[in-house]
Amino acid sequence: MLRSMDEPSAAEIASALRGLLPDELLAQFDDDMSAYADLDGDVSLCGVLLAFSGSFRLLIRKRDAASIRDVLAFVDDLLVRHQPEGGVGPRDGSVYNSLLACFLENVLPVRPEEFPVVGPYLGPGVCAHASKFEAWWLEPNADTSPA
């Protein structure tokens, strides 16, 4: 699928995400990305975001609030900038759709005990989507959050 010319490439997003990780998680992110590489070594946007999901979960476990804040601000900025116009649904492979399907759906909701380190940093783009489609992401509850 061709991407819009104004959307960042998978490599650009991977580079930006690498810049948001503490040094001790860089090798893990790179290893995880290699699992999604094609025969030429290229990784799709969804592959980058799926690989990053594991690194983000480690940030949550470490309760690295500064990194969580920075990652969620970056993700929210991308969501807002690449939101589909005129109510048209996002196309497959778009930055917007990939962020939702390949990252946020993998890391949200968090366990109730982890919500205090994630919830305060959910930006308007994430909250707008969640309030329409995934409201339970915004209200941790032991009955609905994954174990």
107 close to 54: Cβ distance less than 8 angstroms: no
How many separate domains does the chain show? 1
Which of the four pLDDT bands, split at 50, 70 and 90, describes residue 135? confident
54 close to 28: Cβ distance less than 8 angstroms: yes
30 close to 47: Cβ distance less than 8 angstroms: no
User: What contacts 24+ positions apart, CB below 8 Å, involve 57-60?
Assistant: 57/107, 58/25, 58/28, 59/21, 59/22, 59/25, 60/107, 60/110, 60/114, 60/117, 60/118
Work out the number of other CB atoms within 10 angstroms of the CB of residue 55: 23
Q: For residue range 30-82, what is the model confidence (pLDDT) as tens digits?
A: 999 999 999 999 999 999 999 999 999 999 999 999 999 999 999 999 999 98
Within-domain flag for 63? yes
Within-domain flag for 90? yes
Within-domain flag for 128? yes
Within-domain flag for 144? no
Written as six digits, the tokens of 104 are 């946020």
Within-domain flag for 115? yes
Within-domain flag for 19? yes
Within-domain flag for 145? no
For residues 82-106, give the mean pLDDT. Answer: 77
84 close to 96: Cβ distance less than 8 angstroms: yes
Which of the four pLDDT bands, split at 50, 70 and 90, describes residue 123? very high
State the residue range of the domain holding 31. 10-137
- Distance, CA of 110 to CA of 5 (rounded, Å): 34
Within-domain flag for 146? no
Dihedral sign for Cα atoms in the order 27, 104, 58, 118: positive
| 3-state percent helix, strand, coil for the chain, nearest multiple of 5 | 65, 0, 35
On the question of pLDDT at 144 being above 60, the answer is no
